[in-house]
Amino acid sequence: MMDIKQIQKILPHRYPFLLIDRIVEFEPGVRVVAIKNVTFNEPQFTGHWPGDPVMPGVLIVEAMAQSAGVLLLAEADTKGKNALFAGIDNLKFRRRVVPGDQLRFEGRIEKRKRDIGKAHVVATVDGELVAEGDLMFALVPRDEPAADDTQ
């Protein structure tokens, strides 16, 4: 439904911090399903941990937030805005994520009032629960990227 180039038109993140690869399902303002292919050559695995690489939980949460961010920022009234991650409730981790896994993030907008939003996001690998939580966002005006921002 959305490839990486389309995602980059919505999110300001770039490598190595753009943590979703594609959107496979999308209902504007309602629901999103995003995919992250976890590969051994990602920078976090050089130190987390050598010989036993595990994706850091904070990066899983960031990918969850980026998935929900696509959902929020694809709405017409958010043009020219960024979604800042403002908080998280009820976060639970259930399983390790390692190179070779494909993370699937399913996000739903729970609430939105003007420039404040809340989404529930569930992360899975092969149908197994990895993490879930309620993520809060604040929509703020987007600064224009530098002229040499070509990535």
| Residues noted as catalytic | 48
Q: Are strands 22-27 and 31-37 parallel, antiparallel or unpaired?
A: antiparallel
Q: Which residues contact 65 (CB under 8 A, 6 or more apart)?
A: 83, 85, 121, 135, 137
Amino acid at 72: L
Question: What count of Cα atoms within 13 Å lies in the side-chain half-sphere of residue 70?
Answer: 34
DSSP readout, 95-141?
S---TT-EEEEEEEEEEEETTEEEEEEEEEETTEEEEEEEEEEEEEE
**The tokens of 70 are what?**
């696509």
Q: In 3D, which of 148, 77, 80, 149 has the Cα closest to residue 117?
A: 77
